[in-house]
Amino acid sequence: MLTSTTCLLYLSLSILPSLGFLISSPQPPSPPSNTFSRIKTTTTAGAANSKRYSSTGDDDDADFMQSLRMRIKEVTSSPQLPLVVIDTMLPRQILSMDVADTPNDPFLNLLRERIASGNPYVGVVGTARLSSGQSVNLESGVEAELRVVNNRNGMVRVEMLGGRRFVIDRDVYDVHGGWPEASVRFLGDNVHGGNSISSAKAISIAGEFTSPNMNIGCDGSSLVEKWIELAKENECQPGQIDEILATLGEIPSAEEPSDCAFWIGALINPLPVMMNNDTEIRRTLLTGSDEERVGVALNVAMEIRPTLLTAASDEERVGVALDGLTRSIRHMDGSAPMW
């Protein structure tokens, strides 16, 4: 059993290699043209505009001004965010990492620029693996606040705090110092999806998270209480679960079922803390095979975060969360091991 502080309760195995640039600081990842379905580049867009508006005449001038006005309106009507493809985050989650403090580190350059501008936010998106085996970037993510915790011995400790959810609203442009940038549409608290019957079902399901339960070995405790009890028996270091709970705060009311679902997702799929104090474990997490990574990361739940972010309704989200929570409990108590 691992005792290193880098041992993780949960780690999303499919996307870990994309974290390498945050540790070893190579060039920032530029998504291939097929990873975002609507990616464009400013060079291509500029060339197209130049070709389109190279003719002369009043009609052409009128077309040009109309298109320009539409473009200005389009750009100013939706917020734009540089996109960082790291891991799927949920609201309330905090991703911590140590980054080498080098002058040309692309991530630190982005961080410092955003903080200096008074707008310390980026869009964080994860990846999903298709049935064909192809890995694609999600078009749903969260706005994350960038924080510099400390700078010691040439390493900068950075935190990214997950906040508002968004969907990519229009084309993705590779214009922000090599980072993809996109117009996004934030999903407000009043966007629930579904109808009144579906919403009522969602509230009922959300109530199951914290209600006394006599099934699956809960013996009257709630599903959340049972999961916490079992997870503490499987944590890699003392206090790990308590720290996660302190970060998340109290579970939201069942009257806000989607918030409950995101809270559950953040609990059973906590983000890793990327440390540099164990080189061998870190190298395995970043570059090893799935089997090798399982050997250094304690998995207790299926990955549900991408499904939560892309679900269309409250009812769908709480259903995903309930299934993930109960499967995790059955896995940890040995009644239905998943691996």
Tens-place pLDDT, residues 80-93: 899 998 888 999 99
> Do 144 and 163 contact (CB within 8 A), yes or no?
yes
- The domain defined by 13-39+78-186 folds into 2.30.130
b/e for 12-43, b at 16 or more Cβ within 10 A? bbbbbebbbbbbebeebbebeeebbeebbbee
> Do 86 and 142 contact (CB within 8 A), yes or no?
no
Q: Please report the pLDDT score of residue 127 as a whole number.
A: 84
Task: Kindly compute the dihedral angle of the four CA atoms of residues 24, 25, 26, 32, in this order, to the nearest 10 degrees.
Answer: 110
How far apart CA 77 and CA 82 sit, in angstroms, is 16
Q: Please report the pLDDT score of residue 317 as a whole number.
A: 96
Q: Please report the pLDDT score of residue 194 as a whole number.
A: 62
Q: Please report the pLDDT score of residue 60 as a whole number.
A: 63
Residues of the chain under the 50 pLDDT cut: 1-34, 41-56, 190-191, 274-298
User: Which part of the chain is CATH 2.30.130.40?
Assistant: 13-39+78-186
How far apart CA 219 and CA 293 sit, in angstroms, is 34
DSSP code string of 167-199: EEEEEEEEEETTEEEEEEEE--TT---S-HHHH
How far apart CA 176 and CA 95 sit, in angstroms, is 22
| pLDDT tens-digit readout, 13-36 | 333 333 322 222 223 333 334 455
Cβ neighbour number for residue 138 with a 10 Å cutoff? 19
Whose tokens are 């969260």? That residue is 142
